[in-house]
Amino acid sequence: MAIQRTLSIIKPDAIAKNVIGDIIRRFEENGLSIIAMKMTHLSAAEAGRFYAVHAERPFYKDLCTFMSSGPILAMCLEGKNAIALNRQLMGATNPKEAEEGTIRADHADSIDANAVHGSDSEENAAIEINFFFSDLDIHSRS
């Protein structure tokens, strides 16, 4: 499997719980390298642009409000099979359905406040990485 890049976000709920280190440890222990990193606080409009693919979904407004409710940590992860591997480490969107030992099983409280974001395809990973980072911010280690 090729080396891929994916976008990870530690969401406001997990930042508030002070579990950045625990989440990053899981990435590094599973062969993913952080090649760009930025703490930021999105406005609701910026969160809306990031989640534009969900604009028609009933939860869109609440999602944008939540994602702009506090600081987030955006990261570009790099490694073998990074997109699917990150999704596996995250667990299911609804923490009640997330497999034991996943980030969401351990740190998420609800389907709204579910600790982390991860890109779901190569196409979306490229768009999402570009949303937060320029080429100058990214330091490949592959």
Residues involved in catalysis:
117
What's at 13, amino acid-wise? D
Contact 89, 79 (CB under 8 A): no
93 binds, among ligand ADP, Mg ion, none (CB under 5 to 8 A by kind): ligand ADP
Count residues near Mg ion (CB under 5 A): 1
| 20 near ligand ADP (CB under 6 A) | no
CB atoms inside a 10 Å sphere around CB 83: 20
Tell me the pairing of strands 33-40 and 72-80: antiparallel
| 3-state SS, residue 62 | helix
Contact 112, 66 (CB under 8 A): yes
CB of 120 to Mg ion, least distance (A): 5
Closer CB to ligand ADP, 76 or 139, in the complex: 76
Show contacts with ligand ADP in window 42-61 (CB under 6 A): 54, 59
Closer CB to ligand ADP, 57 or 139, in the complex: 57
- Site residues for Mg ion per CB under 5 A: 120
